[in-house]
Amino acid sequence: MASWNSTGIDEDQQVLVEERRFARILTLNRPKQLNAISFTMVSRLLELFSSYETDPSVKLVVVKGKGRAFCAGGDVSAAAHAIKESEWRKGAYFFRKQYTLNYLLATSSKPQVSLLNGIVMGGGAGVSIHGRFRVATEKSIFAMPETSLGHFPDVGASYYLPRLRGFFGEYVGLTGARLDGAEMLACGLATHFVPSERLTQLEEALCRADTSQPSIISAIIDKFSRTPILHEQSAYNRLDVIDKCFSRRTVEDILAALEEEALKKKDDWIDSTIRDLKKASPTSLKISLRSIREGRLQDAGQCLIREYRMACHVMRGEVSEDFIEGCRALLLDKDRNPKWEPSKLELVTDAMVERYFSRIEDEEWEDLKLTARPNLPASATSKL
């Protein structure tokens, strides 16, 4: 798996581990790559969190990123390279490991506090949002930009996005909208908001705590928290329009509802939302909407199993090669002008969408298998 790990940083240094009494501080350490998740990082995090589950000396885990990002996503350029080399199974193996990690974090018996001081996108959300405590700051920027890459919001996003208020999750997942720390707190992606200059003090206070009790940990974070003010133009102040439009049954219906709203009055936010949807991969939009809608009625494990099927279909490129094209246009050539195929929503048929949710027709392929998790705390069992 060497092609997934060429980062300029020794593999054993991509996740820094600090032992502080009953706490463990994990630092994602690929700052030049904005801490994008590599295969090495996924493997190391999976190893660490698995060991913490059975280690009575570990009562709390703090996760943070080095530099100006918490984590800007998975290493999708490496995945695209694997596909171009006709090695889609390498990409599938990466996703299998990553989704297994997401499941472990979602069902962990040890409280996780993620300090989201910077960029949190894609895979970065996967290693934080599933944890019990998510601390945003004035520097936080959250997004799930996958539809602009020809992919879909994964790493368990189809579990947590539909559990945001109303249809805000559909809005975030389809448009790739960027949210600041105040918006993250308001919509529930963050549990607390702490000014960045107080994070060091918060970290010290957490490390002094000899407890796994969520109520005590929450009270500690509360001492450093404040309530931020949503800016006037925040999308979260548009919940009435978002619910009216993004509750529609199809992507075409959502766009039509937004365009109807745009005719009523001049509104830059609506115009921008329409542009974002029209720039995204039509195939990605359709499979993403279905994924989020199915996630409303599924637990975290079921969502990850379904997402693994979808990711494997994306990697194989039999229905659409939009993922390769999106990576080319946004990450490699950077011309920001992807040529999607199919190019229009109406050309993406229900049968094409259905294939992303079906088993892979390959004798060597199998569904993601997640281990049963008995004796879990209430916060974890509620996700199952």
The C-alpha atoms of residue 202 and residue 172 are separated, in whole angstroms, by 29
The token pair that represents 167 in the structure block = 């249809």
**253-262 long-range CB contacts below 8 Å, 24 or more apart?**
254/170, 254/174, 254/289, 255/345
**Burial level of 364, CB count in 10 A (0-12/13-18/19+)?**
exposed
Cis amide linkage into residue 342, ω under 30° from 0: yes
What single DSSP character describes residue 375? S
* Cβ atoms within 10 Å of 235's Cβ, excluding its own: 22
The C-alpha atoms of residue 360 and residue 90 are separated, in whole angstroms, by 15
The C-alpha atoms of residue 209 and residue 207 are separated, in whole angstroms, by 5
Q: Three-state SS across 111-176?
A: CEEEEECCEEECHHHHCCCCCCEEEECCCCEEECCHHHHCCCCCCCHHHHHHHCCCCHHHHHHHHC
Distances (CA, A) of 110 to 276, 279, 291, 325: 38, 41, 29, 40
CB 283 within 8 A of CB 330: no
Distances (CA, A) of 244 to 32, 115, 239, 292, 313: 41, 33, 8, 17, 32
- Where is 36: in which H helix or E strand? none
How many degrees, rounded to 5, is the angle at CA 128 between CA 188 and CA 248? 45
- Let me know how long the chain is: 384
Type of residue at 95: F
Active site residues: 74, 123, 146, 154
